[in-house]
Structure 1
Amino acid sequence: MTKHINDITLFSRQNTPIDTYQLADEKRITGNPLQSVQNHFESPCKQFNVGVWQSEAGSWNVSYSEYEYCDILEGSSIITDSQGHNLTVKTGDKFVIPAGFIGTWEVIEHCKKIYVMFEPQLEHNV
């Protein structure tokens, strides 16, 4: 099926709702950060999503089943893996978190990022 110019998703022309939430108690480590997601695009197969995420200061456990590209627009965070190795990310940093990553995410100062997520299909044993 051929796509046309009207099929392009231009974030600034969308009226995408912003969903705000706080983390579940079982994920939270420190603080009670208010977070928001504005998911501007979801593919028909629901495996590919693009949007904007924001969070106040705090830390929580993460477990990624998806691949996530991140472009930090504001603030800074520390991402720590399950072995205790960490990476500080800040405004201007761009990176990919691989599916299977387990660790923690700590927002040091209000963080805003563009995310691009791809959720691979689960393989079924036949």
Structure 2
Amino acid sequence: MSEKILVVDDSKLVTDIVKMRLSMYGYDVRLAHSGEEALEKIAEEMPDLMVLDVQMPGIDGYEVCRRLRDNPALDELRIIMLTSSDDKHAAFEAGVDDYLNKDIDLLNLPNRVKHILEMQ
């Protein structure tokens, strides 16, 4: 059984690229295009890991992360922030497990996903 990954970004291009990259490694990738949609999907079916953008309309990635971390039932959920934002401090303060820059680290994402999932 492959690990379920929820990719959250308001850019369809980004979600499609990330899904393609991670699917090549056998991950079961689901998509959400807003913070609200991500929270709904997590309530329906818990992924093993979430790849989350910061800048989205409505609920941003920091708030999504804080809400998830405030729920003890979701302690096992691993979160990687994949964003163009440069504020690593705010990302880790919100509770992410890893932080990657879209412009630099996208090719490295499958390796980081594997590493974070192995830490569980």
| TM over 0.5, shorter chain | no
Q: Which has the higher contact order (CA 8 A, sep 6+)?
A: 1
Larger helix fraction of residues: 2
Greater strand share, structure number: 1
* TM-score between both structures, scaled by the size of structure 1: 0.30
- Look at both structures and tell me which one has the larger radius of gyration over its CA atoms: 1
TM-score by length of 2: 0.31
